[in-house]
């Protein structure tokens, strides 16, 4: 079946299991499809953690894939999809795990990434590829190429993450003492994934916003022991103690907190993208990855970007010469970001 489609399909299956940031980047693609084809039935196969963020989106059927369950996750998915057929599969994850799951999804059109972006043998699991005329795109814009290749004519840059009254009430109670900023200090804990700024610098920022702007700070993050320990290190280094909620909120409660603070500071991590999706000012801290590929989409102008300097220092490469998406694998790279640079971004936002 040729693409683009000339009539709306009856059903589309989206395959994107993880992670929080990428799931957030996918939402404008979903909204674009819903806008042009409101009667098309959409099913999204998604990871359990990521589902907690988007589960309340209207007119989307979610099927959960628990990757921690191993082979039984595939058996469960097979049982859920048995006898079902979709018009289109959007294969939007290049992991081998996702590609194996795609074998259980019956669809005449299986649309995957184009050759420059396809990895992990995905090309063997799809029969169509997205059309992208620009090789260097933000992840969100790359996802939009799936909608355009299908035949969607208008990009809808909208996230619209639903928040319940209970989540909003939780955030209101947390921030009952007045205005605040939020810091999500840690990125995901993965091998050679050095994206975290040092705790002393975070502490200096917390004291700065309190002394200059009379703003409190809320620390947010996940339940990992490393994140909790890092939050304690930051708090111990502060004169003005932050409210430590690391590991003590759901994803939706965390999002509700972001929706009420003055700004959010974070490295390249999922919660940073959630805050951006909620329309909040976000100061991204980047040195080991390129913000123009994975940064806070609407807040790139607020980002502290030391990636070019880190890339030159580590590999002797410019951004133009380096492969798109190349990471700087140096645990000291974030030290290139100074407290003064972050203070300048804070001043520009708060004084405006």
The two structure tokens encoding residue 223: 């339940």
pLDDT band at 74 (very low <50, low <70, confident <90, very high): very high
| DSSP conformational letter for 105 | -
Residue 72 domain-assigned (yes or no): yes
Residue 233 domain-assigned (yes or no): yes
* pTM listed for this prediction: 0.96
- Measured in whole angstroms, the distance separating CA 58 from the mean position of its chain's CA atoms is 20
Q: What is the pLDDT of residues 107-136, one digit of tens each?
A: 999 999 999 999 999 999 999 999 998 999
From 94, 121, 150, give the residue that closes a domain. 150
pLDDT band at 6 (very low <50, low <70, confident <90, very high): very high
Do 77 and 188 belong together in one domain? no
Do 127 and 199 belong together in one domain? no
Domain extent at residue 276 = 165-351
Do 192 and 115 belong together in one domain? no
CA atoms within 13 A on the CB side of 230: 24
Radius of gyration of the CA atoms of the chain, in A: 21
Percent of the chain's residues with pLDDT above 90:
95
Measured CA to CA in angstroms, residue 175 lies from 172, 258, 277, 296 at distances of 5, 11, 20, 24
From 97, 116, 150, give the residue that closes a domain. 150
pLDDT band at 337 (very low <50, low <70, confident <90, very high): very high
Q: What is the pLDDT of residues 77-92, one digit of tens each?
A: 999 999 999 999 999 9
Do 177 and 111 belong together in one domain? no
CA atoms within 13 A on the CB side of 307: 25
Nearby residues of 291 by Cβ (< 8 Å), 6 or more positions away: 268, 284, 300, 303, 305, 307
The pLDDT value recorded for residue 191 is: 58
The pLDDT value recorded for residue 194 is: 73
Query: Number of folded domains in the chain?
Result: 2
Q: What is the pLDDT of residues 95-107, one digit of tens each?
A: 999 999 999 999 9
Name the average pLDDT for the chain.
96
Do 298 and 344 belong together in one domain? yes
Please state whether 194 falls in left (phi above 0), alpha (psi between -120 and 50) or beta.
beta
The pLDDT value recorded for residue 25 is: 98
Do 240 and 295 belong together in one domain? yes
Do 143 and 220 belong together in one domain? no
pLDDT band at 146 (very low <50, low <70, confident <90, very high): very high
The pLDDT value recorded for residue 260 is: 97
Residue 3 domain-assigned (yes or no): no
Residue 222 domain-assigned (yes or no): yes
Do 180 and 145 belong together in one domain? no
Please report, for the domain that includes residue 93, its CATH number: 3.40.50.2000
From 99, 115, 150, give the residue that closes a domain. 150
- What is the pLDDT averaged over residues 195-207? 96
Residue 157 domain-assigned (yes or no): no
Q: Residue length, the chain? A: 352
* Strand order, beta sheet including 216-220: 243-244, 216-220, 180-184, 264-267, 282-286, 304-305
Do 130 and 177 belong together in one domain? no
Whether residue 200 is predicted with pLDDT greater than 80 in this model: the reply is yes
The pLDDT value recorded for residue 192 is: 63
Whether residue 273 is predicted with pLDDT greater than 80 in this model: the reply is yes
What is the SS3 assignment for 282? strand
Strand 60-65 with 282-286, pairing: unpaired
Do 144 and 253 belong together in one domain? no
Do 134 and 180 belong together in one domain? no
Residue 325 domain-assigned (yes or no): yes
Distance CA 113, CA 129 (A): 5
Residue 6 domain-assigned (yes or no): no
The pLDDT value recorded for residue 177 is: 81
Do 192 and 321 belong together in one domain? yes
Residue 156 domain-assigned (yes or no): no
């Amino acid at each position: 079946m040729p693409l683009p489609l000339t009539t709306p399909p009856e059903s589309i299956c989206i395959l994107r299991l993880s992670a929080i940031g990428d799931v957030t980047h996918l939402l404008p693609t979903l909204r674009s499809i819903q806008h042009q084809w409101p009667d098309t039935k959409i099913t999204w196969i998604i990871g359990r953690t990521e589902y907690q963020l988007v589960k309340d989106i209207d007119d989307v059927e979610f099927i959960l894939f628990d990757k921690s369950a191993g082979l039984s996750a595939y058996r469960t998915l097979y049982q859920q999809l048995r006898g079902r057929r979709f018009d289109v599969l959007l294969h939007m994850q290049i992991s081998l795990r996702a590609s194996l799951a795609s074998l259980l999804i019956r669809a005449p059109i299986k649309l995957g990434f184009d050759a420059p972006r396809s990895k992990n043998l995905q090309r063997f699991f799809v029969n169509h590829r997205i059309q992208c005329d620009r090789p260097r795109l933000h992840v969100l814009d790359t996802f939009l190429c799936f909608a355009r290749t299908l035949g969607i004519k208008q990009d809808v840059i909208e996230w619209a993450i639903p928040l319940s009254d209970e989540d909003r009430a939780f955030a209101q109670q947390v921030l009952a003492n007045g205005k605040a900023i939020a810091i999500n200090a840690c990125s995901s804990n993965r091998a050679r994934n050095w994206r975290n700024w040092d705790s002393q610098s975070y502490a200096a920022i917390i004291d700065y916003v309190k002394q200059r702007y009379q703003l409190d700070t809320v620390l947010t993050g996940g339940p990992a022991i490393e994140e909790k320990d890092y939050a304690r290190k930051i708090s111990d280094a502060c004169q003005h103690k932050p409210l430590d909620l690391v590991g003590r909120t759901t994803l939706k409660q965390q999002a509700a907190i972001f929706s009420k603070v003055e700004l959010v500071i974070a490295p390249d991590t999922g919660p940073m993208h959630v805050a951006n999706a909620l329309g909040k000012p976000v100061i991204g801290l980047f040195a080991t990855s390129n913000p123009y590929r994975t940064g806070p989409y609407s807040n790139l102008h607020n980002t502290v970007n030391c990636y070019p300097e880190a890339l030159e220092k580590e590999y002797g490469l410019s951004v133009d010469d380096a492969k798109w998406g190349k990471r700087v694998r140096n645990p000291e790279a974030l030290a290139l970001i100074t407290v003064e640079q972050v203070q300048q971004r804070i001043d520009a936002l708060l004084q405006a």
